[in-house]
RNA sequence: GGCGCGGUGGCAGAGUGGCCAUGCAGAGGACUGCAAAUCCUUGAACGUCGGUUCGAUUCCGGCCCGCGCCUCCA
């Protein structure tokens, strides 16, 4: 069979269209994604990019020999300071605890670890050096006026960069016209933004040429992406809401500090997570955390619900979406179980089912289409399992199973044993012990043998009440939770 | 005010200039003591008004509706 070439296409926010992805170095693809600010538990809006870029990471690893994925931890920020002030908990304790919680959540959602996870506080010298380079090149200025408000600020000079605003398609003039904030007196231009700000003795701070202070919000990503990926790299990702000002300002910092470099070539942004038709965000207060959700559903179900919608579409989070995610995963696990305990065979990638699946994923990460392809393949297994006699003997179930697992794993699901999936105690399932369940089933089967169907149905009802569903098959009775 | 996104069958949600999404739910049948699962069959959609076209849900324009960014946010 002719193997169709797999060309990855990604929607690039810079061009606002799907472009063929051409890495700077096809032997080594480099990607940076904005990670969490560690001051509070991750909500599911934060979880979306974690999952989306994890799928992209898995796909890139499949397509290229080497991938370096960097996701930062922002552990110095005014929101963290505010949280510490409010609760009285020391900053170091908040950031450490929250970072750990984030890692637990990411793991529960089936996300692979990034290759590098740099912390902002461990890269202050790199940031200071980049700010110095910007000042040298006339793209930044320090406001030094001892005793005056604003002393010790360093600002990026937006008018010094003619192409400022290309990513978000805002001109400097538009920004100023639409501005709803007062212009700080230490800014030369209303659009200028902070690279470095002074810290009072009670606040986290580092010595710098401009006195004791801390970095502005955007500089860490410029400094850390450069350190680990170089001044020009392939993909920069994050949520839609980071396009402006965060990513716009990163571009300004990085390209002005390193003339001739491109910084990120492709910008990939995931859409918002909505709840009741409104964007979910911490500032609106209409959010729930990944931890809360993990009490209601297994991480795999949450992850799947996230992938059922294309990553650039807004995703309205509902209980029903979770229910649907679970039922599709049930179907797939059922197909796996039907294949039997055979060892799955790693699939040839050029078979049609896999080609169609990969074609969907490489088309700007069309996970919805990819899921449809897996459904078709699951159907094939169900059909095959319904065959009888010689035609059934001709079916190679370990190959079919191998393909299904391959596709599932590309999406980061189907990670467990089918038996564990159906019988394991998980979030949202019943907790009756297996021995107790097996005993009731035995009693029911005795009743069935004695044709005491009234008693058999009573026992079934008892099991249903415990969250157990029975399936009587030719090989006996099997059960599952849910 | 400026910039931008979206409106697909009962629900969720892809996609396409002419034929199929996919899943759930629904209807009928097979199987089953009854179920569950599976199989077979099946109905159902492209906000609105114009334009381009042999033909538009798909391209273009107006309108209506919803949402977002311009300020901290994934």
Q: What's the pLDDT tens digit per position in A442-466?
A: 999 999 999 999 999 999 999 999 9
The dihedral formed by the CA atoms of A226, A164, A237 and A314, expressed in degrees to the nearest 10: 170
Asked if residue A181 has pLDDT above 90, the reply is no
Q: A3-7, A66-70, A350-354: which has the minimum mean pLDDT? A: A3-7
| Model confidence at A2: pLDDT above 50 | no
Distance CA A253, CA A273 (A): 29
CA(A15)–C1'(B51) in Å? 28
Does position A348 have pLDDT exceeding 50, yes or no? Answer: yes
Asked whether the predicted pLDDT for residue A5 surpasses 80, the reply is no
Strand B contacts (CB < 7 A) among A residues 328-357?
328, 331, 334
Non-local CB neighbours of A128 within 8 Å, separated by 6+ positions: A196, A206, A208, A209
Task: Tell me the per-residue pLDDT of A115-135, one tens digit each, with 9 for 90 and over.
Answer: 999 999 999 999 999 999 999
Q: What is the average per-residue pLDDT within A175-193?
A: 75
Average pLDDT, chain A: 91
A195: CB within 7 A of chain B nucleic strand: no
> pLDDT value at position A1?
37
* Contact in structure between A205 and A212 (CB atoms under 8 Å): yes
- How far is it, in rounded angstroms, from Cα A368 to Cα A74? 32
- The pLDDT value recorded for residue A255 is 95
Protein CB footprint (7 Å) on chain B nucleotides: 1-6, 11-15, 21-25, 32-40, 66-74
Whether the pLDDT of residue A173 is over 80: the answer is no
Residue A3: the pLDDT is: 45
pLDDT value of residue A282: 77
Assess: ipTM above 0.95: no
Output the distance from A294 CA to B27 C1' rounded to whole Å. 37
Token couple for A437: 């369940």
Which residues of chain A between 63 and 102 are close to nucleic strand B, CB under 7 A? 79
pLDDT at A4 over 80: no
Mean pLDDT of the A253-270 span = 95
Residue A82's Cβ-count burial label (10 Å; 0-12, 13-18, 19+) is: exposed
Contact A210, A154 (CB under 8 A): yes
Question: Across A159-173, A211-225, A460-474, which has the greatest mean pLDDT?
Answer: A211-225
Q: Which of residues 247-266 of A touch strand B (CB under 7 A)?
A: none
| pLDDT confidence tier of residue A391, bands split at 50, 70 and 90 | confident
Task: For A282-336, write each residue's pLDDT tens digit.
Answer: 777 788 899 999 999 999 999 999 999 999 999 989 888 999 999 999 999 999 9
Per-residue pLDDT, averaged over A231-237, amounts to: 96
Predicted confidence band at A477 (pLDDT cuts at 50, 70, 90)? very high
- The phi and psi torsions of A376 (rounded to 5 degrees) equal -60, -40
Find the Å distance, CA of residue A479 to C1' of nucleotide B51: 60
Who has greater pLDDT, A467 or A150? A467
Amino acid A156: pLDDT: 94
What is the model's pLDDT at position A185? 80
For residues A412 and A303, the answer to whether their CB atoms sit within 8 Å is yes
Distance CA A135 to C1' B12 in A: 52
pLDDT at A212 over 60: yes
The answer to whether the beta carbon of residue A239 comes closer than 7 angstroms to any atom of strand B is yes
Distance A368 CA to B21 C1' (A): 10
A280 vs A179 pLDDT, higher one: A280
pTM: 0.95
Query: What was the pLDDT predicted at A177?
Result: 66
């Amino acid at each position: 069979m002719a193997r169709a070439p797999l060309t990855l296409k990604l929607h690039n926010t810079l061009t606002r269209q799907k472009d063929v992805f051409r890495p700077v170095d096809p032997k080594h693809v480099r990607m940076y994604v904005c990670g969490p600010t560690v001051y509070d538990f991750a909500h599911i809006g934060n979880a979306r990019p974690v999952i989306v870029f994890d799928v992209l990471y898995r796909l890139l690893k499949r397509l290229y020999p080497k991938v370096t994925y960097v996701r930062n931890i922002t552990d110095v920020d005014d929101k963290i300071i505010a949280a510490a002030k409010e609760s009285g908990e020391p900053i170091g304790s908040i950031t450490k605890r929250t970072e750990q919680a984030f890692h637990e959540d990411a793991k529960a959602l089936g996300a692979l670890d990034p290759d590098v996870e740099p912390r902002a506080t461990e890269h202050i010298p790199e940031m200071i050096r980049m700010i110095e380079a910007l000042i040298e090149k006339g793209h930044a200025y320090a406001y030094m006026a001892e005793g005056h408000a604003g002393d010790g600020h360093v600002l990026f000079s937006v008018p010094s960069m003619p192409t400022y605003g290309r990513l978000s398609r805002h001109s400097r003039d538009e920004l100023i016209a639409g501005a709803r904030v007062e212009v700080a007196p230490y800014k030369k231009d209303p659009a200028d933004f902070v690279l470095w700000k002074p810290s009072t003795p009670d606040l986290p701070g580092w010595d710098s040429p401009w006195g004791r202070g801390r970095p502005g919000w955007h500089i860490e990503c410029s400094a850390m992406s450069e350190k680990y990926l170089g001044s020009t790299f392939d993909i920069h990702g994050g949520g839609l809401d980071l396009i402006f000002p965060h990513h716009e300002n990163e571009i300004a910092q990085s390209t002005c500090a390193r003339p001739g470099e491109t910084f990120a070539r492709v910008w990939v942004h995931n859409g918002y997570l909505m709840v009741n038709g409104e964007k979910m965000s911490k500032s609106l207060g209409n959010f729930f955390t990944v931890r809360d959700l993990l009490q209601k559903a297994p991480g795999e179900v949450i992850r799947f619900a996230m992938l059922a919608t294309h990553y650039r579409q807004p995703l309205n989070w509902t209980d029903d979406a979770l229910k649907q995610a679970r039922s599709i995963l049930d179907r797939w696990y059922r197909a796996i179980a039907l294949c039997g305990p055979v060892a799955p065979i790693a699939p040839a990638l050029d078979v049609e089912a896999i080609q169609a699946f990969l074609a969907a994923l490489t088309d700007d990460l069309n996970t919805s289409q990819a899921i449809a392809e897996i459904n078709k393949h699951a159907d094939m297994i169900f059909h095959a399992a319904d065959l009888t006699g010689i035609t059934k003997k001709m079916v190679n179930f370990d190959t079919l199973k191998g393909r299904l697992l391959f596709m599932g794993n590309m999406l980061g699901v189907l990670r467990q044993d089918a038996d564990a999936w159906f019988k394991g105690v998980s979030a949202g399932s019943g907790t009756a012990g297996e021995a107790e369940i097996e005993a009731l089933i035995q009693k029911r089967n005795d009743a069935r043998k004695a044709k005491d169907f009234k008693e058999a149905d009573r026992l079934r009802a008892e099991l249903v009440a415990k969250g157990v569903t029975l399936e009587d098959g030719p090989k006996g009775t099997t059960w599952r939770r849910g």
